Structure 1
Amino acid sequence: MKVLNKDELKIAESVLLKHFPKSLKVYGLLYAMNRNKPSTLEVIVDTWPDFKVIICRPDPKNKRALEFRKKVAYYSTDEQVLRRILIEENAIDWSTYFLIGGFDVSHSSMLKEVSAYREVNSRDFTSVHLLYLPDPSHLLSPPIDSELESRISSLNLSHVELVNKTWKFGGNAQGYRNIQNLISNFPSCCITDGQGQPVSWILVYDYCALGMLYTLPEHRGKGYAKVLVSAMAKRLHAEGYPVYCFIEEENTVSYRLFKSLGFSEDPSYKAAWFEFNFCGS
């Protein structure tokens, strides 16, 4: 295994670009790191420069890593090489709770086998669709009148608590720190009310995926979500970001929304999140 340095991270980013959409999550993490976004991760590969496995994992030398949920992401073109690294080498710290997010769902059985070998419990956290917009010309933007356009803005740090308490995976101090980091360092978009307070919003995760799309219940049914996704997709394309999102399989409303705006899906590919070393039965 090899830990990549700054120059090698840029090369790896260009390699991952050729493997969309399956490589999008790891590509997004490297994209952010290569543009000096704050990160608590380090990146390892099986071999260099021709790697078959690339893993983003918490950097043991980064003290801030303890402030966030422990997350791992990887992309692999060879499941056997991945299995060998997970079993025979210290690619992942198996001693504490962590999530592996956005991996190819076809690897589920292998990951369960490896965790059993490591004597670590594992379970499905969520299964998701990966939707992406490779070409901005495919975006089907909704019409926006001037009044609504004047209420489109960006989130700021005074909005962290509002987003945290409405986020499905938030509501705690760890979620607050995560959202604070995202609003401070990544694009966001919101629609405000007459008092300038957000009533609908969307953020970008540290792996550059669209997420946390939410509209306050009393403001739903007005098409705000379509406006926000469209506005963010245009902005991200203009700034060079990848444009994609993960939608949980049971979230048919969001799935239909993104599809209606022109987002694509590779029908042969599904992604998943697993958690390891969790407490409880």
Structure 2
Amino acid sequence: AIMQQDSLVRLSVENWSDLQEAFMTDWPRGISGYTILDTQRRWLEECFDYGFKVFCPFGDLWSGMVAINEKDAFYEIVLQCPRNDTSKLEEALKTTNVIDWQRNIIIPFAPSHIIESVKKIADDVNVDIELILPSNSFILDKQSPQFDVSLPSSITFGLLTPKHIELVDSTWPHRYPGSTWYFQLLVKTRSGFGLFKDQDLVSWVFINEAGTLGHMYTLEDHRRKSYGELLLKSVSNVLLKERKDVFAFSVKGNESACNLYRKVGFKNFDGVAWCYLKGKSK
């Protein structure tokens, strides 16, 4: 019997840069697709491979990207498309065997044309859309000058280490069984940054596996001291030094975070949403 090729064709790491070029033509909407490939390539070069895989519908870059980003028990499918026409992407999603639609699936930072695609195919792949969580997107252009940051004398800025994981996980509102595994990965890849007061961690932020700022948090007793702003500027400088755009998502309604990004000079651009799917019982 001839093996029928799957509608989603695996894209090798050597060809990710072609897909990144496609996303660059669709800026700023294509930033998430571009940046996740950038970050994952760096991690692979440093030998942090946890199974992130990239596919294109029928092998065509312009028809979009389907990436499997499995984080322990967390099954994330990244869907992005550099064009408005998502018909090929939809066709591929309906027939592929690469995705296990019966699992609980999260589709992160999906632009509006992707959300519409998911709505169109939900019945075909036998899933219910449980929740669509809209988010604001904020971007600081890589051409921006670095911030002039002066930290108070008892405060230092530095990398998180494994001993901080327990604290970070315990305060994360979205923690799930296995999220410590996720924070371990981010700490190992030197992606966690914090402000330390006399060596104790008081405020932190991560550059996650998609290259976006996330999990920003300041301990209750240390709020209203502008630590969030100092931390945001310090971590932005790390990326700006590497000539990288700095970008972040903030759930709609989280006014304090949105105000902070605006205050520091980030531009708000088209919103995205997180889409939660659940397989219908057979």
Tell me the TM-score normalised to structure 1 length. 0.86
Matches within 5 A, 1:28-67: 28-35=35-42, 36=44, 37-48=48-59, 50-58=61-69, 65=70, 67=72
Q: Which ranges in structure 2 are unaligned for 5 or more consecutive residues?
A: 1-7
Instruction: Determine helix, strand or coil for the equivalent of 2:209.
Output: coil
What secondary structure does 1:70 align onto? Answer: strand
Q: Determine which structure has the larger helix proportion and give its number.
A: 1
Higher strand share: 2
Q: Partner letter of residue 207 of structure 2?
A: V
| CA gap 1:143/1:235 in 2 versus in 1, 3 angstroms | closer
CA distance in 2, matches of 1:279, 1:258: 39
Unaligned segments of structure 1, at least 5 residues: 59-64
Residues paired across the two proteins, number: 268
Q: Give 1:9's aligned amino acid.
A: W
Q: Which residue of 2 aligns with 1:167?
A: 172
**What CA distance in whole angstroms lies between the structure 2 residues aligned with 1:48 and 1:106?**
20
- In structure 1, C-alpha distance between the alignment counterparts of 2:246 and 2:22, rounded to whole Å: 18
CA distance in 1, matches of 2:97, 2:250: 31
Identify the residue that residue 70 of structure 1 maps to in structure 2.
75
Sequence identity percentage: 19
CA separation of 1:254/1:9 partners in 2, compared to 1, >3 Å: closer, same or farther?
same
Quickly say closer, same or farther: Cα 1:278–1:88, change in 2 above 3 A: closer
What secondary structure is seen at the aligned counterpart in 1 of 2:94? helix
Look up the match of 1:208. Answer: 211
> 1:189 and 2:193 equivalent?
yes
Within the alignment, does 1:12 sit opposite 2:19 as a pair? yes
Moved more, 16-25 or 159-168: 16-25
Contact 2:138 2:248 (8 Å CA) reproduced: yes
Q: Which moved more, 1:218-227 or 1:18-27?
A: 18-27
Query: TM-score with structure 2 length normalisation?
Result: 0.86
Deviation of residue 25 (structure 1)? 1.9
Matched to 2:230, the amino acid is V
Deviation of 1:5 (Å) = 1.0
The answer to whether 1:157 aligns with 2:158 is no
Contact 1:68 1:177 in 2 (8 A): no
The one-letter code matched in structure 1 to 2:197 is D
Instruction: Tell me the residue number matched to 2:272.
Output: 271
Secondary structure of 1:137's partner? Answer: coil
- Supply the AA of the counterpart residue of 2:186: L
Q: Secondary structure at the match of 1:151?
A: strand
5 Å matches for 1:240-259?
240-259=243-262
Determine if contact 2:105/2:278 at 8 Å carries over to the other structure: yes
| Deviation of the 1:55 alpha carbon | 1.2
145 and 234 in structure 1: CA distance in 2 versus 1, 3 angstrom threshold: closer
User: Which stretch of the first structure deviates more once superposed, 40-49 or 216-225?
Assistant: 40-49
